[in-house]
Structure 1
Amino acid sequence: MFKVKIRKAAEIILETYFEPAEYPLVNIYFSTDLLYLRYWYNATAPANVALAAEPDILLDLTLSEDTYMKLTGEFPITEGIDNSGSMAAKRVTNDVRSIIFEILHCDCQPRYREAYLKAKVSELLVMMLSTGYMEKPSGRWTVREIAMLTEIKELISLNLQNCYSIEQLAEISGMNRTKLQEGFKDLFGKTIFSYTTDMKMLKAKMLLEDEQGLSLKEIAGMLGYRHTNHFSAAFKKRYNFSPSQLKRS
């Protein structure tokens, strides 16, 4: 089961403690009408930051970015985040509000309570994505272009050992460089480079936590890095600790 911390105003509904290796965390909190998202990059982030920012909060969820990705298949959109690490998202829909109500008023038997709440959080995240939480593309892309851009995204995700150049991806997609890069960022909220790096680092974190005990050199090679030190530098930049530290822990 995944870790998730759930709060209602100052009351903790479900408590969870996160290890340093599980950062960054995604903090999602709901007011009466709006959904907000905040990133916590290290364990020193103040626990009450979301509550202080939004006094009429209904529900406050915190889970790791890894878990968010595994549950939804998407990275949280980070474009537009301000200097405090937060952003306002779309208005809360009635469907999302209904799930929040079910979480806040959970009346199941105590032994099933945690499983129920985690299931509802999974449902809530999927509902957020399906009701327009993610920024919509501008509307200037054809159905064929959207399908091709989605294929490019899947190609990158499934072949992380390949370091595709923009020229290669443009040739595969049948688009020019500019259109490919603009379309990718418009649809998925990240540049091709940022998305590729995020996927590689997520995969690296999963491999480092795996019990197979792969070496850093093996993992670096699986992710398309010729030099282990380049991989280690990218990993540390993303997570604020080195892959060797995670491997030792």
Structure 2
Amino acid sequence: MLSLAALELRHLAPPPPAPTLRWSEGELERLERARELLATRMDRDITLAWLCASVGMNEHRLKQGFRSVFGTTPQRMLLELRMRRAWALLETGCQVAQAGWQVGYAHPSNFSAAFTRFFGRSPKSVFGRRSG
């Protein structure tokens, strides 16, 4: 009976804190460089393998670093950067297809679907509507 109660209490107790990951100055610089590459090359096809090779980190450590330091994954950060840039382009009157190309989408329909999924509204609904 007592061991059963102990098992139940163990399930109610908060989980132990996750081990704190330590990042060297060099790793932090490489993670920042990876973020810069995502922001400055969003118009290109960016693969995780290319990003890892470009900054000199293995895939596991890069993903771990993004989650720990930036609170997201490299793929999610790239999507967010692309969508926010596309929104800004559309607000200033950039055509939907052109905005898609400028943020790395080869096909306007793929861009429109991704934009709608991300923001819950179509790119056409943002076109030329600069918010002040």
TM range (shorter): 0.7 to 0.9
1:172 aligns with 2:54: yes
Please, which of 39, 51, 71 is the counterpart of residue 157 of structure 1?
Answer: 39
Deviation at 1:163, TM superposition (A): 2.3
In 2, Cα distance between equivalents of 1:200 and 1:175: 23
Please, which of 189, 194, 197 is the counterpart of residue 76 of structure 2?
Answer: 194
1:246 aligns with 2:130: no
Q: Is the 8 A contact 2:82 2:103 kept in 1?
A: yes
1:236 aligns with 2:120: no
In 1, Cα distance between equivalents of 2:128 and 2:86: 14
In 1, Cα distance between equivalents of 2:127 and 2:113: 15
TM normalised by structure 2 equals 0.78
Structure 1 consecutive aligned stretches of length 4 or more whose deviation exceeds 6 Å: none
Match of 2:64 in 1: 182
Structure (1 or 2) with the greater strand fraction: 1
Correspondences of 1:62-141 after superposition (within 5 Å): 138-141=20-23
Let me know the Cα RMSD of the aligned residues. 1.3
Count of aligned pairs: 110
Deviation at 1:139, TM superposition (A): 4.1
In 2, Cα distance between equivalents of 1:149 and 1:190: 12
Choose 1 or 2 for highest CA Rg: 2
Classify the secondary structure of the residue corresponding to 2:127.
Answer: helix
Match of 1:218 in 2: 98
In 2, Cα distance between equivalents of 1:215 and 1:155: 25
% identity of equivalent residues? 29
Structure (1 or 2) with the greater helix fraction: 2
Match of 1:35 in 2: none
Letter in 1 for 2:80: D
Deviation at 1:237, TM superposition (A): 0.9
Match of 2:9 in 1: none
In 1, Cα distance between equivalents of 2:53 and 2:123: 34
Please, which of 26, 30, 49 is the counterpart of residue 144 of structure 1?
Answer: 26
Letter in 2 for 1:169: L
Deviation at 1:222, TM superposition (A): 0.5
Deviation at 1:214, TM superposition (A): 2.0
In 2, Cα distance between equivalents of 1:232 and 1:152: 26
Gaps of 5+ in 2: 1-19
What do the CA deviations read for 1:50-90 (whole angstroms, capped 9, x no partner)? Answer: xxxxxxxxxxxxxxxxxxxxxxxxxxxxxxxxxxxxxxxxx
What do the CA deviations read for 1:34-62 (whole angstroms, capped 9, x no partner)? Answer: xxxxxxxxxxxxxxxxxxxxxxxxxxxxx
In 1, Cα distance between equivalents of 2:34 and 2:59: 13
TM normalised by structure 1 equals 0.43
Q: Is the 8 A contact 2:63 2:74 kept in 1?
A: yes
